[in-house]
């Protein structure tokens, strides 16, 4: 199976394993979508609160798509491939829990676009990130023109997409694509530590925070602020909010149950 899913306490680890470069194709995307549906059930049951996504090995996170298939595509086929990836990556982006991309090497094309659909990105020191589609006479097709622009701003995003150049982990950190650079060999451990820290927070509040921030990107500031107020108010009807306040006043660690 080229997409593996394992569960550790409240954290799920999803791993791409498609040698030699963990490249994406239609079949792997379908399997990935199936794993996302499994995750949705685990999240709904509060069995999973954080998802970590990585690749097998130390050289490749996901090195884009299977280019050999591009020679046989026409406009209709190209559109359908783009929409397949866009829909599935939106399902990833809208998971009602925290998602962390642990970028263990090359994250190019669709690989970077998948990482951009996650909430947080950690990368090993040897990672290389880029949207090289321009060199194939194409543009990013799995959301890269939109998510990269929203993340780092239009000026830098246009530079990367127009030139197709790859950037190192340190440069990706400097311009805001990733959150942290991790020593090679320690990436998954660091991602799991971060996941454990997040998983200990109240899940309903985390879900509301994610929804408020993501919805705000699609709205005016005034509309986003109003959505924030609604989510803030809704949380006062949860047991987790009462437990958090009581624990703070009683100077003890809260026990959040997701209710």
Of the residues 72, 90, 133, 171, only one is catalytic, namely: 133
Q: Cβ(145)–Cβ(160) under 8 Å?
A: no
| Contacts (Cβ under 8 Å, ≥6 apart) of 116 | 143, 144, 147, 148, 151, 177
Q: Cβ(64)–Cβ(114) under 8 Å?
A: no
Residue 239: how many other CB atoms lie within 10 Å: 13
Of the residues 113, 159, 184, 239, only one is catalytic, namely: 113
Is 113 one of the catalytic residues?
yes
Q: Cβ(148)–Cβ(157) under 8 Å?
A: yes
Show the CA angle centred on residue 187, arms to residues 182 and 190, nearest 5°: 85
Count of helices and strands (H, E) across the chain: 10, 10
Q: CA gyration radius for the chain?
A: 19
Catalytic residues: 113, 133
């Amino acid at each position: 199976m080229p997409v593996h899913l394992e569960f550790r306490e409240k954290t799920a680890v999803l791993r791409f394993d498609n040698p030699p470069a963990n490249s994406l194709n239609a079949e792997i995307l379908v399997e990935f979508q199936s794993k996302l549906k499994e995750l949705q059930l685990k999240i709904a049951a509060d069995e999973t609160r954080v998802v970590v996504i990585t690749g097998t090995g130390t050289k490749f996170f996901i090195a884009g798509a299977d280019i050999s298939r591009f020679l046989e595509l026409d406009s209709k086929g190209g559109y359908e491939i783009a929409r397949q990836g866009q829909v599935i990556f939106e399902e990833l982006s809208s998971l009602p829990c925290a998602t962390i991309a642990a970028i263990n090497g090359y994250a190019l094309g669709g690989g970077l676009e998948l990482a951009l659909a996650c909430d947080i990105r950690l990368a090993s020191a040897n990672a290389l990130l880029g949207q090289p589609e321009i060199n194939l006479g194409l543009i990013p097709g799995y959301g890269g023109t939109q998510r990269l622009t929203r993340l780092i701003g239009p000026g830098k995003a246009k530079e990367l997409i127009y030139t197709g150049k790859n950037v190192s982990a340190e440069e990706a950190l400097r311009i805001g694509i990733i959150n942290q650079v991790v020593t090679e060999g320690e990436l998954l451990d660091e991602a799991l530590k971060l996941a454990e820290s997040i998983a200990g927070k109240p899940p309903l509040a985390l879900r509301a925070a994610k929804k408020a921030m993501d919805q705000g990107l699609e709205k005016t500031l005034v509309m986003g602020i109003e959505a924030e107020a609604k989510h803030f108010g809704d949380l006062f009807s949860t047991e987790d909010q009462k437990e958090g306040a009581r624990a703070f006043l009683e100077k003890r660690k809260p026990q959040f149950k997701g209710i």
